[in-house]
Structures are given as structure tokens and as C-alpha cells.
Amino acid sequence: MQDYYYDNDTTTKSKAIDLDLVKDVALLVKDAALIVIDLGYEFTKEVAQKPLAKGEEAIEKIGEKGKEAVDKGVETAKQHPLMTLLAAFGLGFLVVKLLKRK
């Protein structure tokens, strides 16, 4: 048998609401929302880390290539010290001319 109650101001009749059922449904909705939020967070974190991993690899490769270039430059400077001195003087002269230009 269903429970009914009558509103004092109206003549309509309504079904009684089981508050425990409402609380259970609210808890289920809350749990479902937390699961969705957690999955969204994990997905976002995973997507954000993929470019970082690729970026770290690129930075490592650039660092290695830069070190190789510096080592090669140092080796060339040791083999040709006079040419290195002339090149440094020429670059310095060029920089001064560019900075003094108005």
C-alpha cells in the first residue's frame, strides 16, 4: 500500500518520498561524478605528459648535437689557431660596426 499525504493548502494528493532512497541516489550520483572527474584528470595528465616526454627527448638530442658542435669547434680551433684568431677578430669588428650604426 502506498503512503499518501495531503497538502494543507491544496487538495492534491502526493506520494510520500522515501528520504533514504533519495540519499542513496544522491550518494550514487556523487560517486559517479567523482569517478568521471578522476578519469578526466588521469586522461588530461596522460595527454599532457606525452608532449613533455617527446620534448625531453628533443632537448636531449639538441644538447648532444650542441656538445658535438662545440667539441668540433674546439678541435678545429686547436688545429688552426691563427685562422681562429682572425675569425674572432673579424666577428668582433662586424659586431662593433653593427652596434655603432644608427
In the beta sheet, which residues pair with residue 82?
A: none
Residue 50 pLDDT > 80: no
pLDDT of 43: 80
Check whether residue 69 and residue 85 sit in a common domain: yes
Check whether residue 91 and residue 60 sit in a common domain: yes
Average pLDDT of the chain is 77
Q: Helix (H, G, I), strand (E, B), or coil: what is residue 18?
A: coil
Most confident of 1-5, 17-21, 43-47: 43-47
Q: Where are the alpha helices (DSSP H) in the chain?
A: 19-79, 81-100
Overall number of domains in the chain: 2
- Residue 88's domain comprises 55-101
Check whether residue 97 and residue 61 sit in a common domain: yes
Residue entry with cell 560517486: 31
Check whether residue 96 and residue 60 sit in a common domain: yes
Give pLDDT tens digits for 72-92: 888 888 888 888 888 888 888
